[in-house]
Amino acid sequence: MNRAYEVIIIGGGPAGLSAGLYASRARLSTLLIEKGIIGGQIANAAHVENYPGFPDGISGLELTQAMHRQAKKYGLETVAAEVIGITLNERGKVIKTTEGEYRAKAVIIAVGAEPNRLGVPGEEKFLGKGVSYCATCDGPFFKDQMVAVVGGGDSAVEEGVLLTRFASKVILIHRRNRLRASRLLQERAFANKKIEFLWDTVVEDILGPDRVRGLRVRNVKTGDRSTLEVSGVFFYVGLHPGTDYLRGLLPLDEEGHIPTGEGMETEIPGIFAAGDVRKNSPRQVITAAGEGATAAISAEKFLSE
């Protein structure tokens, strides 16, 4: 495989795939590097209903597979590898990966974000044994069982509603008494008889011993502790970008997001960022796609200067 490209895109979610479509359609030699499955986080979503053009919704996998096919049609190449560092030299940018080094004149970082761990005892031990971060992937294993969802954002509420297709009951545990999720999702959750809300409550411990059998929870207002008998717990307590390897190269905010200008440019000429990894990104599929396209247009301009 060629090791030198005009544009290298890191990350194969909607931002990276849109950047790939725009860059390859601009006839720039373009490589997309993805460490996991092409499609990113949204590929796990059973139903995406706010991507314009699909009035009946579309599965995240179908949507991202179509994005990939479209970009490939114009010549986008992809490689499965994990990026471990980027360095700069007089010939451009060197991208170090688990599969060797690649060189590019312009780089678009679109690595998205990964689910946060809550950090409670049992979380690692019972991963895949009742602890999950993906209701679409693992929901069917909990048919007619009681499960808990932790968090109060769009993900927790949306995935909580999805889980009611399988589980006998979903207990949504939130640390405050008000959801952060959008109104539409809240309405759906409140109307769903299978969802019970546990407000002002945090999880302190996941109980085993062999797999998840329950949760020890604490009411943050009263301090009361109780035990919930559930066979699964789904955590949706926010996302963080996996950008540790960029520290020292680019300025990052505390959580690791990359600040950019309007054209998705970073502080380093020829390096752009798009999608959930970007500071202040609205973190929607449609905005990620738009940011990816913008980054590719900016990269094209950079290359022609």
| Residue whose token pair is 């049992």 | 122
| Residue whose token pair is 């010549």 | 75
Which one of 7, 147, 217, 237 is in contact with ligand NAP (CB under 6 A)? 237
Q: Which is nearer to ligand NAP, 50 or 98 (CB)?
A: 50
What is the CB neighbour count within 10 angstroms for residue 16?
37
Long-range contacts of the stretch 66-74 (C-beta < 8 A, 24+) = 67/14, 67/17, 67/18, 67/21, 67/289, 68/12, 68/17, 68/38, 68/39, 70/17, 70/21, 71/17, 71/18, 71/20, 71/21, 71/24, 71/32, 74/21, 74/24, 74/25
Give min distance, CB of 303 to ligand NAP, in A: 32
Q: Which stretch binds ligand NAP (CB under 6 A): 68-76, 102-110, 174-182, 206-214?
A: 174-182
Q: Out of 137, 224, 244, 253, pick the active-site residue.
A: 137
Whether 244 is catalytic is no
By CB atoms closer than 10 A (0-12, 13-18, 19+), residue 223 is: exposed
109: amino acid identity, one letter: I
Number of residues counted as binding ligand NAP (CB under 6 A): 19
Q: Which stretch binds ligand NAP (CB under 6 A): 58-66, 104-112, 132-140, 152-160?
A: 152-160
15 binds ligand NAP (CB under 6 A): no
Judge contact between 109 and 271, C-beta under 8 A. Answer: yes
Q: Which is nearer to ligand NAP, 276 or 300 (CB)?
A: 276
Q: Which stretch binds ligand NAP (CB under 6 A): 83-91, 100-108, 236-244, 263-271?
A: 236-244
Q: Which is nearer to ligand NAP, 161 or 295 (CB)?
A: 161
Whether 144 is catalytic is no
- Catalytic (active-site) positions: 134, 137-138
Interface contacts to ligand NAP, rule CB under 6 A: 50, 118, 151-156, 158, 175-176, 180, 202, 236-239, 283-284
